[in-house]
Chain A
Amino acid sequence: MNDVVDRGGAWAVVGAGPHGLSALKNLLELGLDADGFERDTDLGGNWNFHAENSRVYESTHLISTKPFTQFPDFPMPDAYPDYPSHWQVHRYFRSYAEHFGLLDHLAFNSEVVSVTPVAGERWDVTVRDRESGVETTRQYAGVVIANGHNWWPKIPQYPGQDTFTGEIKHSADYKSADVVRGKRVLVVGAGNTGCDVAVESAQNAKETFHSTRRGYYYNPKYAFGRPSDQTADLLLALRLPLALRRVMFKSVLRLTVGDFEKFGLRKPDHEFFETHPIVNQQLVYYVGHGDIQPKPDIDRLDGSTVYFEDGTSAEIDVIVFCTGYLAHFPFLDDSYLNPEGDHPVLARQIFTPATPTLAVSGLIQPDSGQWTIAHWQGMLIATYAALRAQDPVAAQRFYDAIVSETGVRFTGGAEYKDSTRHYYEIAHQEYLRAIERDLQRLESMAPAISGSLAAAR
């Protein structure tokens, strides 16, 4: 075994996507020592277009607008549009990291290959330098896991799939319309990826079929001149109840987009807010032009033919499975985050009942933008880490209380459809309220951490 470098009270952060960056920044801001490890040559995670783990494609723009998507202490530039492109988002993360001096604390090309517990609730973190292959192990007081959950492809299996003579791709391999240009294309799945890919295929392919296993609500990016997510936040700010918000959203959809069934789309088999929101203004348009042909679920495949559940079939050159991603923690024994083996069930989507010094940031799928939440998750973890350093007994009290709520979900009153993609779905405002209560509890336990005094530095 190689020598272990003892990093004392420092915390390690796995990943330099928005969640890792925010965790790192907040740990440092609260005066802790922290090291960030990123397997790629650059930061930004999903938004670092050329990275292996990036799942954005050339045309990706945000589906959520700036006000809630951005870090609250580092707004995006006024010059950015409502829905910035992935290039702009990447530049934004870089200026965040530079502004807060994070680059000194980040190691690139550094893949975390194992995170193992050692005595005293500490962790050995082994990092492989991807250039030299050299592995180094350092010991930390705690670890924040922020490796993202939108990169490990979920690939379905249909009868006859191995007889299929065309190409089978997952959206993970879809970086531009080159994949579909001039071909007969079947897009499977109507998450936001599936809808974007179907639209891009409609613009570039010979023929586009779109198979979904249920009907959905296709929300416009703008309704009545306002970005949809800002309207959603306005209704929440006005504290309108779920039932009323449902009626309002459905009426707005009917008024602005129309009746989905008349377009030949499937009728939603669920209420509004029961599936992760789709935000796509163009899909319905292309369906209306016949450039996207909606289809139900696949029944079976045979050679170049795909048969659908309604008995129809189509000749297909390439299938793009836009069936989402699964969480994956190859560097950590399942007993810590995922003892059931199916998916992690945590407290606040952050803390695990298995150990008090491991925290996850980013294991959320909000019905909104994400980085306001990334900020507050990072702040909660950092405040907790600071309390552990200062008053371990109080920190343990906080930890015991919070993990007693393991498995509590924040659904805003809705019942999410049973699907792997809803494992981490949260109603953003309800979730943030809970995080804020936790933060207040932590700060009341350790006034010195909460600052207020000029003496803090």
Chain B
Amino acid sequence: MSRLRRPSKVMRMWDWSVPPTSAHREVLSIVPEGWIDEPRATRKPPILFVHGLAHGAWCWREQWMPAAAERGFPVYAVSLRGHGDSGGRKRLGRTLLRHYVHDVMQTITELPQQPVLVGHSMGALVSQLVADRYQPRGLALLTPAPIQGAAYELPKLIRKRPLDALKVVAGGTLPLRSEQLFTGLDETTAARYVDRLGRESPWAQYELLIPHRIGPVRCPVLVVGTPDDRVVDEKAVEVTAAAYGVDPVWLPGIGHDLMLDGGWEKALSVVLDWIDERC
């Protein structure tokens, strides 16, 4: 943990002097009736889902949001700027992770209670950057982008997918195909999802390559990985988990997009059971 400690959580000079611009935010939600005004009517904390690279709030809406709402959780998902139906697409080329952090913080302050943050892939990194300044009820990191920076993955990418690597270096969006995201989905469904993927900010992608120093965070942390993930390798999951002093939960048989892939029910119940027990 100490290794990953950031030098200054107090002096956020760039945020003070060049604050992030605002962008229209798409926030999907399923909340029990009247909950906003009477948030304590449910014993369950709200959940805020943060999507990953090139995804959007839609990826949570397919399976997880209705299922979690069914279990009594007020659920929200935000599309980071330039993603889903949020604004800021034209400025995507100038977007940094700190803009995404701003979008998540803005969504949080509209909630009547502190949410459990559930971040996927790049969204897991964004969620950690959020938790670096704000204490959520809990922090669940699913197949998280490596906190130590993904630069070490580059040689592998160059070897296996040289054209993709070239594209990323040139500022293009990392191509995500169904064989990388899913293990157990029928072809048409998988193709439908892949079709919905959008572009990613080149700068945010570059930022994924460098190490991030986060913490300490005071809330419960859950880290979930899968050995069948073809985007984020096991090492990334292990290092992230170690940074918070927890053991990762492994879900073999599911692919990187564990909120969409076959077996999503299992992954969701791991997260919701953890929230019920710990948050």
Residues of A within 8 A of B (CB): 29-30, 66-68, 72-75, 77-78, 95, 98-101, 230-231, 233-234, 236-237, 372, 376, 429, 432-433, 435-436, 439, 443, 450-457
Contact = CB atoms under 8 A, between A and B. Distances in A.
Nearest to B137: A457
Contact of B245 (A100, A435, A452): A452
Contacts of B1: 452
Given A67-B15, A454-B222, A454-B278, 18 more contacts: A72-B12, A74-B134, A77-B106, A99-B111, A101-B114, A231-B17, A233-B17, A234-B17, A372-B16, A429-B13, A436-B9, A443-B216, A451-B215, A451-B216, A452-B218, A454-B221, A454-B244, A456-B219
A454 B138 CA distance: 9
B109 interface: yes
11 contacts: A29-B218, A74-B134, A230-B16, A231-B17, A436-B9, A452-B244, A453-B245, A454-B244, A455-B245, A457-B219, A457-B278
A100 B1 CA distance: 27
Given A77-B109, A100-B114, A451 B218 contact: yes
B41 interface: no
B119 to A, nearest CB: 15
Contacts of A439: 10
Contacts of A432: 10-11
Contacts of A234: 17-18
Given A77-B109, A98-B112, A100-B114, A450 B246 contact: no
Given A72-B12, A73-B134, A233-B16, A454 B112 contact: no
A-B pairs with lowest CB-CB distance, top 9: A451-B218, A452-B216, A78-B22, A234-B17, A237-B13, A233-B17, A436-B10, A67-B19, A73-B134
B148 interface: no
Contacts of B219: 451, 454, 456-457
B231 to A, nearest CB: 25
Contact of B106 (A73, A78, A95): A78
A436 B8 CA distance: 8
B18 A230 contact: yes
B109 A450 contact: no
A266 to B, nearest CB: 31
A68 B13 CA distance: 9
B86 interface: no
A452 B217 contact: yes
Interface string B104-143: 0110011111100000000000000000011100000000
A236 B12 CA distance: 12
B208 to A, nearest CB: 23
B220 interface: yes
Interface in B214-260: 215-222, 244-246
Interface of B: 1, 8-19, 22, 102, 105-106, 109-114, 133-135, 215-222, 244-246, 278-279
Contacts of A436: 8-11
Nearest to A443: B216
A68 B16 contact: yes
A452 B244 CA distance: 6
A29 B278 contact: no
A338 to B, nearest CB: 29
Nearest to B244: A454
Contacts of A230: 16-19
A435 B17 CA distance: 20
A67 B16 contact: yes
Contacts of B18: 230, 234
A439 B133 CA distance: 15
A455 B111 CA distance: 25
A236 B110 CA distance: 32
B249 to A, nearest CB: 12
Nearest to B12: A72
Contacts of B222: 454
A99 B113 contact: yes
A450 B11 contact: no
B133 A73 contact: yes
A450 B10 CA distance: 14
Contacts of A100: 114
A95 B218 CA distance: 22
Contact of A454 (B8, B19, B245): B245
Contacts of A68: 16
Contacts of A30: 218
Contacts of A78: 22, 106
A98 B37 CA distance: 11
A376 B10 contact: yes
A29 B217 CA distance: 11
Instruction: Output the residue of B17, B112, B216, B246 with the most chain A CB within 10 A.
Output: B17
Contacts of A72: 12, 133
Contacts of B13: 233, 236-237, 429
A25 B10 CA distance: 17
A101 B135 CA distance: 13
Instruction: Output the residue of B8, B16, B221, B278 with the most chain A CB within 10 A.
Output: B16
